[in-house]
Amino acid sequence: MAAPVKLTIDGKAVEAAPGTLVIDAAKLVGINIPSFCYYEGLTLQAACRMCLVEVEKAPKLLAACTLPVAEGMVVRTETPVVAEARKYTLEFLLTNHPLDCPVCDKGGECELQDMVFRYGAGESRYSENKLHVDEKQWSPVVFYDGPRCILCFRCVRICSEGMGVGALGIVNRGAVSEIAPNHGDHLECDECGMCIDICPVGALTSGTYRYKTRPWEMDHVGTICTHCSNGCKTTLGVRNGQIIRGNNRDRSGINGEFLCIKGRYGFDFTDHPERLQSPLMRVNGKLEAASWSVALAAVAKKFSEVRARHGSFGVIGSTHTTNEENYYLQKFARSVLGTNHIDHHRSGDVVTLLDALSGTAGSLSTTADLYERKAVLVVGADLSSQQPFLAFQIRANYRHHQARVYVVTENEVREDGIAAATVRVDKGGELAGVHSLAEKLKTESELVIVFGDSIKGEAVRELVAFGNSLGIPVKYVALVDYSNSRGALDMGLVPELLPGYQPSNQPGMTVGEMLESESLEVLWVVGANPLESAAMKAKDAFVVVQEMFLTETAQRADIVLPAASAYEKTGTVTNVTGEVQRLKTGPSTMGAKPDLEIIGLIARDMGLAAAVGPWIADKVFEEIRATVKGYSVPMAIISAGGAAHTMPVNGRIPVESRPDLIHSSRDNLFTSGTLGRYSKMLGSVMEGRQA
Amino acid sequence: MTLSPHLEAKFAKLLTSYPPGRQRSAMIPMLMFAQDELGQVTQELVEEVARRIGCTPLQVEEVLTYYSMLHKKPLGKYHVQICTNISCMLTGGAELWEHASGKLRIGHREVAADGFFSLEEVECIGACSWAPAIQVNYDFHHHVTPEKLDRLLAGLRSANAV
C-alpha cells in the first residue's frame, strides 16, 4: 500500500490512504462533516453542497465529499464562513420544502431537520408560493411526497447500485425535478424499502408506517429477522405492544442497512387476526379453546402415559425456533420421552459439507467473506430472490472491490449482470457447469462457493474435491431456507445426529417416516407444518402442535398450544453461514408463550423438569456453549448484539447422509413458507402476486 | 419497433461512434434523429433506444425530461422558437413572443389546431449578436421584427400550400 497522506483537519493531524475523500478522512479523527447526498458505499453525487469546507490556499469553499486528501492539506470544517454557506444551502433546500414536520413520518429523525437545527436557517427570504405536487403511491409499500424531496439521489443510487434493480430515476430539471418510478405511475421492483430508509427526509415513506406514530414514541428493538436464513438484523419499532416498523438505519448487525421486504415489512404476521391466543383442545371432534393449565395437563398426562408403556413418540421441530428451543426439544425428546424420532424440514446439505471439509480450517464462509473475498462462485441458486442479503454482499463486493463473480444456474439470475462468467445448465448439470469453469477459477487467488440444494450428497463431496483441486483457498456456504434452519441441524433436530453433529447411533424416523408410520402414538410438532403437503398414516395418533396459526397441521391436532413468534422471545438463532445472533423481545401477544417455556411447562407437569433443566433461554444457551461443538462462542459478542461465527466439528461425521430428504422451498422475496401466508404486506405487492 | 432504413442506418452508426461499453452516449443523438423523423419521442421509441444502448427505459426518461429540445408530444410541422433571454429581451424578444402568440393563438409549447405551427419560448439560442433571434426547426432568423415574423410565417404557409 502506498504511503499515507498527511493532512490537518480542524487542527488535528490525520493520516489517510491516498485517494481517501476529505469527508471520510475527517471521520478518522471523529469529525463529522454534514452531507445529504454523500453516502458511504454509494457513488459520489456532489449534489447537495452541505459538505462545503474551507481549505487553505483554495480560493473558495470545496465539497469534502469529492475532494481527495492531499499532502499538507489544511482543512477547516466549521468556520463562520462554512457555517454561513451551509445555512444558505439549507435556505435553498427549504424554498419548496413544505415544512410539514409536525405530521411528517421523518419528524424527529430527519437529517434536514437536524441540519436546520444545527445551522439555524430559521428565516427564509423566499416569498413566492412554494411549488406543490400531490403525494403519490407507487406500491403498497412505497409512497412519494415530492415537495419534501431534496434531490440527493440516495434512493436512486441505492436502488440501482445496492440492489441492482434501478427502479428509481430523476425526471425533469431544476425546481420541478422529481423522483420517478420505473413504470410511469408505479414501481415494479424488489419492494425492499431501501429507498425509504435511506431517504434523509420524509419524501419516501412506507405503507406500513406512514402517519402511524412519532419515532420517539416507539421502543427500538434490534432483533434478527425470522424469515429467510440470512440472519439480518431488523430494528423493530414497537409501540403499545405492537410492531409498527422494521428497519436497520443504525446499520447495526451483519447486514448494515440492508433489509429486504420481509425484514422490513414482513413482521405483520405477529398481529394477524388469525393468530392463536389460547390453547385449543379437541372436544367431540372439534377444537375448542381451553386454558393453559388444562391443555398442558392434558399433554403431560398423555405423554406420561405413552412414555410409561414405552409407546412411540414422533417429534418434528422447526426451522424458525431458537437454538435454545431446538436444543431443549431434542433433549426432552431423547432423554425424557426416550425417542430418537426427531426431525425437521431439511433444506441444504450442511452435513455432507462439514464432513467433506473435515480436517480443514477456515473453510466456512461468513457473510462478511462474501463482501471481502476476491471471487465468488454461485451454484444453483437465485440469490437475489432467495438469499437477498448474500446477493447484496456479493454485489457490494463487485462494486467496491471488483470481485469476480461466477454463476452456474439453470435460469437467468440478477448476478449474471455482474458476472465474470455465466454458465447456463440443465437441471442436474450444475456440477458439470462448475467443472467447465476450472481454468478460469484457477487464475483466482481465493474463492467462496455458494451452493443451493441441487448440490447434495455425493455432489457436495465432488464440489469440495473440485475446490481442493483449484489450489487456492476456498470457502463454502451451503444454502438453507429459514431463519434457524442451520440451528436446527446444529442442535440435532435429526434422528441421525445429536447436537454438534455427533452421531446418535440409534435409529430414528425422519419426518416422512413418521408420517408414514401406522404405529406412531404421539406426534409432537413444534413450529412446523408437515401436513401442508402430506398426509399422516397413523389415524389414531395423538397430535400436539405448538403454532402461531391454525395451519393444516394444527387443524389435525388434538391439542394446539399457541406459540410466540421469534419477535416475541429471547434466544439465539444461527444463520446460513453459521453466525449466531441473539433475538430480543419486541412486542408480546397475549395468550401465546415461547416454545421453550411451553416445552418446559410440559416437562414440569410431567414431573420431569429436573431432567431437562430450567427453561430459561440464557441458561440453555450456557449449556449449548458448554456442550455443543462449535458453539463455544464469546458471550461478549452475543450479548452486544453481534454475530459470532460457529465452527462446527472439524472431523468426520460418520452418519449416512440423507440427500433424498433435502429440498429447498425456494421461497422468493415475497413468500416465506407458512409464515408468508400470514403477512398481509408480502401478499399485497404486485410482484408477489405474479410470482 | 420498426425504424425507417435511414434511421436504422443512423442508429447503427451511432452505436459504433463511442468506445466499447459507452454505447449509452448515443442516447441523445438517437432521440434527436428519431424525433426529427417521428415528430415526437414516443414511449415505444424510449423503450427501443433503451434496448439498443443497454439501459433502462427510466434512464432514457430521465434524459428525455431533462432536455427541453426533446418532446414527448408532437410538435407542429414548423416549430417556432422565440428567444426571450437577456439580449433578445432587450431588443424586443418579449414583444416578438407576444406577437407570435397572439397571431398563432397558441401559447408556450402548444401546437396550432392544424398542426402546422407550434410555439416555444426558449432560453438563449446563442445568437445574441443578431438579437432578437428566433429558430424555426433548425433554421435561425436574425434581427426579427413582428413584420419580418409575419412575412416568415406567411412564406412558410404559401410554400407548403398545395
Instruction: Tell me how close the Cα of A195 comes to any Cα of chain B, in angstroms.
Output: 16
3-state secondary structure of B91: coil
CATH of the domain at B103: 3.40.30.10
- Residues B83 and B61 grouped into a single domain: no
Please tell me the distance in Å from B30's CA to the nearest CA on chain A.
Answer: 19
In this predicted structure, the answer to whether residue A682 has a pLDDT above a threshold of 80 is: yes
Evaluate whether residue B71 is within a structural domain. Answer: no
Last-in-domain residue among B17, B42, B66: B66
Same domain, residue pair B61 and B95: no
Q: Could you count the other beta carbons within 10 Å of the beta carbon of residue B157?
A: 13
Best of B60, B63, B65 to disrupt the A interface by mutation (most A CBs within 10 Å)? B65
Strand, helix or coil at A180?
A: strand
CA-CA-CA-CA torsion for A102, A133, A161, A189, nearest 10 degrees?
100
A181 chain-B contacts, CB cut-off 8 A: 58
| A180 touches B at CB < 8 Å | yes
Instruction: Assess whether B87 and B62 both reside in one domain.
Output: no
* B17 falls within a domain: yes
Q: Are residues B100 and B124 in the same domain?
A: yes
Residue A667 CB burial class (10 angstroms; 0-12, 13-18, ≥19): buried
* B44 and B101 assigned to the same domain: no
**pLDDT value at B87 more than 50:** yes
Whether B140 and B106 share a structural domain: yes
Same structural domain for residues B109 and B132? yes
Q: Are residues B44 and B99 in the same domain?
A: no
pLDDT-derived band of residue B159, with 50, 70 and 90 as boundaries?
Answer: confident
- The boundaries of the domain holding residue B93 are 78-159
Looking at residue A65, what is its pLDDT?
97
Quote the percentage of chain A above a pLDDT of 70: 100
- Return contacts of B72-76, CB within 8 angstroms, 24+ apart: B72/B40, B72/B41, B72/B42, B73/B40, B73/B109, B73/B111, B74/B39, B74/B40, B74/B111, B74/B115, B75/B39, B75/B40, B75/B111, B75/B118, B76/B111, B76/B112, B76/B115, B76/B116, B76/B117, B76/B118, B76/B119
| Domain assignment of residue B73, yes or no | no
Q: Region A538-559: what's the mean pLDDT?
A: 97
Q: Which residues of B touch A166 (CB under 8 A)?
A: 56, 58-59
Q: Do B65 and A168 touch (CB under 8 A)?
A: no
Q: What is the pLDDT of residue A120?
A: 84
Inform me whether the C-beta atom of residue A610 falls under 8 Å from chain B C-beta atoms. Answer: no
Hey, are the CB atoms on B58 and A172 less than 8 Å from each other? Answer: no
- Assess whether B91 and B132 both reside in one domain: yes
Residues B87 and B146 both lie in one domain: yes
* pLDDT tens track for A451-487: 999 999 999 999 999 999 999 999 999 999 999 999 9
Interface membership of A172 toward B (CB under 8 Å): yes
**What is the pLDDT at residue A2?**
82
Measured between alpha carbons, how far is A598 from B31 in angstroms, rounded to an integer? 67
Partner residue facing A173 (CB), from B57, B59, B66 = B66
Which of chain A's residues have a Cβ under 8 Å away from the Cβ of B66? 171-173
pLDDT at A650: 83
**Total of domains in chain B:** 2
Residues of B in contact with A170 (CB under 8 A): 62
Where do the DSSP E strands lie in A225-317? 233-239, 242-247, 280-283, 286-289, 313-316
Q: Which of A182, A187, A188 would you mutate first to test chain B, the one with the most B CBs within 10 A?
A: A182
Residue B117 lies in a domain: yes
Are the beta carbons of A15 and A4 closer than 8 angstroms? Answer: yes
Residues of A in contact with B59 (CB under 8 A): 166, 169
pLDDT tens for each residue of A625-635: 999 999 999 99
Asked if residue A101 has pLDDT above 50, the reply is yes
Output DSSP code: residue A32.
-
**Percent of chain A with pLDDT strictly greater than 90:** 94
CB A210 within 8 A of CB A105: yes
Write the residue in A171, A181, A182 that is nearest to B65 by C-beta: A171
Is the pLDDT score of A586 beyond 80? yes
B138 touches chain A (CB under 8 A): no
Q: Which residues pair with B80 in a beta bridge?
A: B119, B136
Q: Do B65 and A167 touch (CB under 8 A)?
A: no
Cβ distance B61 to A168 less than 8 Å, yes or no, reads no
pLDDT in tens, A428-456: 999 999 999 999 999 999 999 999 999 99
State pLDDT tens for residues A69-83.
999 999 999 999 999
Asked if the Cβ–Cβ distance from A171 to B57 is below 8 Å, we say: no
Flag if B57 and A166 touch (Cβ within 8 Å).
no
- Return the beta strands (E) in chain B as ranges: 78-83, 110-111, 117-122, 134-136, 139-141
Q: If contacts are CB pairs under 8 Å, which of residues 30-89 in chain B contact chain A?
A: 56-59, 61-62, 65-66, 68
With bands split at pLDDT 50, 70 and 90, how would you rate the model's confidence at A1?
Answer: low
Query: Which chain B residues are within 8 Å of A171, Cβ to Cβ?
Result: 61-62, 65-66
- The answer to whether position B62 is within a domain reads yes
**Alpha-carbon span A299 to A290, nearest angstrom:** 12
- Give the per-residue pLDDT at B160: 80
The residue whose grid cell reads 476450472 is: A438
Could you tell me where the DSSP H helices lie in A402-476?
430-435, 438-442, 458-469
Cis peptide before B132 (omega within 30 of 0): yes
CATH number where B50 lies: 1.10.10.1590
Smallest CA–CA distance, residue B83 to chain A, in Å, is 19
Using one digit for the tens of pLDDT, what is the confidence trace for A141-190? 999 999 999 999 999 999 999 999 999 999 999 989 999 999 999 999 99
Nearest chain B residue to A181 by CA distance is B58
CA distance A177 to chain B (A): 8
What is the per-residue burial (b if ≥16 Cβ within 10 Å, else e) of A454-490?
bbbeebbbebbebbeebebbbbbbbbbbbbbbbbbbb
Assess whether pLDDT exceeds 80 at residue B148: yes
A-chain residue closest to B66, CA distance: A172
Please answer yes or no on whether A166 and B66 come within 8 Å at the CB atom. no
Band of the pLDDT at A647, cuts 50, 70, 90? confident
Residue A364 · residue A449 · CB < 8 Å: no
Q: What is the mean pLDDT of residues B17-40?
A: 94
User: Which residues of B fall within a CB distance of 8 Å from A175?
Assistant: none
- pLDDT higher than 80, residue A99: yes
**Interface test mutation site (partner A, options B62, B63, B69, B72, max chain A beta carbons within 10 A):** B62
- A173 to chain B: which residues are within 8 Å by CB? 65-66, 68
- ipTM topping 0.90: no
Distance from A170 to chain B by nearest Cα, in Å? 6
Q: What is the pLDDT of residue A343?
A: 97
Among A668, A524, A686, A590, CA closest to A241: A590
Cα A131–Cα A135–Cα A137 angle in degrees, nearest 5: 155
Q: Is A178 on the interface with B (CB under 8 A)?
A: no
Query: With 60 as the cut, is the pLDDT of residue A690 above it?
Result: no
Question: What's the angle, vertex CA A399, arms to CA A398 and CA A404, rounded to 5?
Answer: 20
Closest residue in chain A to residue B43, using alpha carbons only: A184
A304-309 average pLDDT score = 96
Cα–Cα distances in angstroms (integers) from residue B43 to residues A575, B49, B83, in the given order: 45, 10, 29
Stretch A499-506: mean pLDDT:
92
DSSP state of A2: P
Query: What value does the mean pLDDT take over residues A510-537?
Result: 96
Contact B58 A166 (CB under 8 A): yes
Per-residue pLDDT at A20 exceeds 80: yes
Residue B21 forms contact with A (CB below 8 Å)? no
Residue with cell 490537518: A8
Does B86 share its domain with B150? yes
Q: Mark whether B95 and B26 lie in a shared domain.
A: no
Do residues A36 and A48 touch, judged by C-beta distance below 8 A?
yes
* Beta-carbon contacts below 8 Å between A and B: 27
- pLDDT grade for A404, boundaries at 50, 70 and 90: very high
Mean local confidence (pLDDT), A92-103:
94
Is A173 near chain B, with CB under 8 Å?
yes
In chain B, residues with a C-beta closer than 8 Å to the C-beta of A182 are: 56-58
Chosen domain end from B46, B66, B86: B66
- Indicate whether A691 pLDDT > 50: no
Q: Do B61 and A172 touch (CB under 8 A)?
A: no
Mutation pick from A156, A168, A170, A179 vs chain B, by most beta carbons of B within 10 Å, is A170
Q: What span, in angstroms and rounded, lies between the C-alpha atoms of B97 and B119?
A: 9
Closest-CA residue of B relative to A175 is B66
| pLDDT value at A607 more than 90 | yes
Please report the domains of chain A, with CATH numbers, ordered by start residue: 5-93 (3.10.20.740), 101-107+117-271 (3.30.70.20), 280-346+484-662 (3.40.50.740), 350-478 (3.40.228.10)
Contact between chains at A171 and B62 (C-beta distance less than 8 A): yes
Determine the distance in angstroms separating the CA of B26 from the nearest CA of chain A, rounded to an integer: 19
**Residue A636: pLDDT over 80:** yes
Distance from CA of B115 to the nearest CA of A (A): 26
Chain A, nearest residue to B54 by Cα: A417
Q: Is residue B101 part of a domain?
A: yes
Let me know if residue B72 belongs to a domain.
no
The answer to whether position B82 is within a domain reads yes
Contact A166 B62 (CB under 8 A): no
Q: Do B65 and A182 touch (CB under 8 A)?
A: no
Q: What is the pLDDT of residue A123?
A: 84
Name the residue among A169, A173, A181 with its Cβ closest to that of B59: A169
Element (H, E) at A644: strand A644-645
Q: Which of A172, A173, A180 sits opposite B58 (nearest CB)?
A: A180
B-chain residues near A180 (CB < 8 A)? 58, 61-62
